[in-house]
Chains A and B, each alone.
Chain A
């Protein structure tokens, strides 16, 4: 099929503007952005969730983000900072922070107060409660926030090719400039596959990180005092 001609041509699979190089660039932007966003959002979200101060801000930011046009933010920041990595990466970080922040905040807020009380009753202090009880219990929502952040960043990094960033979006923008549709399709197929692959990978990481005890019941509202029939209970009996 000729729409895939660009993708299947071996000449496009090597060199500094080849598909592997662009893929590495794209992953590089995602990794860098995610790292900065995690460093900002997780401690901030944990603090907001732990203290209960400024929760409306965390939720409001995440909701407001949906309305913010990513392309507008990109061109505005790149116009202000000039070409280079600073503008686009700042824009990507701004988009990546709110989902992780909201996820961390909501995750910590939703931890069953009975569990936190139990931890305190066992003599755990503020920091032990946060790291030993609240954060592990909040992991499903934190990793959920990370997944939506990563999708947002993969998608926006593609659009950032318009403001002269590298990555897989280059094939779409460069292909458009010379009406080379197979090249545009190659870029789009690769970006779509990358997004799906990263999401599946993170779903796997989520399974590995989250304690099996949390996986069974997604959001237990109340601690059950009467043991229900679970495979473990049956084995113990």
Chain B
């Protein structure tokens, strides 16, 4: 505890950096995954292609991806943008599949009803299909956010990693309290973000809270 009390300023700074590195990729990843998931859900070929490519990208270990991006993107090798891009890639890889699954789970009856009521395809997608796929997409988003929060710390090995820097520093200077504080904070942030996303999901799907009607009545 003495270490924590003596280093509150450092902890605050690293926590903010950590949140930035972890959550920006999740937001960008979600924005990119929605159109890609829509595309994957439309054609069989698109689905096979996106699912295979995203599976392949998800296989590449994080540290390797951090190092491999600069020659591919033309960024400098020790640039925080590489960490953000790498985590965005993981988020997209994870969410494309979730979005496609969520959209394909929307009942065709509802989609047809919306079409019959005069919804244009774009409006139908935004106002009917996307909101109805929220529960599935949100489950994937929670996994993506928690993974991203944990993976940021790997960036500390190459110099940027938010709270991960407490691991490298605590290891090199042999301060176990610093390492433990870092682990606890990462777990805590993951827990809080996960809880907030859960609440967001509830807020976005008010129809789920109204007492579920008896089964068999559509």
Contact = CB atoms under 8 A, between A and B. Distances in A.
B167 interface: yes
Given A71-B164, A73-B183, 16 more contacts: A68-B183, A68-B187, A69-B154, A69-B163, A69-B182, A75-B171, A76-B179, A159-B62, A172-B63, A176-B158, A184-B67, A188-B68, A191-B63, A192-B68, A196-B60, A199-B59
A189 interface: yes
B154 A192 contact: no
Contacts, number: 122
Interface stretch (B8-16, B112-120, B142-150): B142-150
A139 interface: no
Interface string A54-69: 0000000000001111
A178 to B, nearest CB: 13
B65 interface: yes
Given A76-B179, A158-B63, A69 B186 contact: yes
A79 B143 CA distance: 30
Interface of B: 56, 59-65, 67-68, 70-71, 77, 143, 146-147, 149-150, 153-154, 156-158, 161, 163-164, 167-168, 170-171, 174, 176, 179-180, 182-183, 186-187, 190-191, 194
Interface of B is mostly: helix
A78 B170 CA distance: 12
A196 B157 contact: no
19 contacts: A69-B182, A69-B186, A71-B156, A72-B182, A73-B183, A75-B170, A76-B176, A76-B180, A158-B61, A158-B64, A162-B157, A162-B171, A163-B171, A176-B158, A184-B77, A189-B68, A192-B59, A195-B60, A195-B61
B65 A192 contact: yes
Contacts of B59: 151, 192, 195-196, 199
Nearest to B180: A76
A72 B186 contact: yes
Interface string A185-205: 101110110011001000000
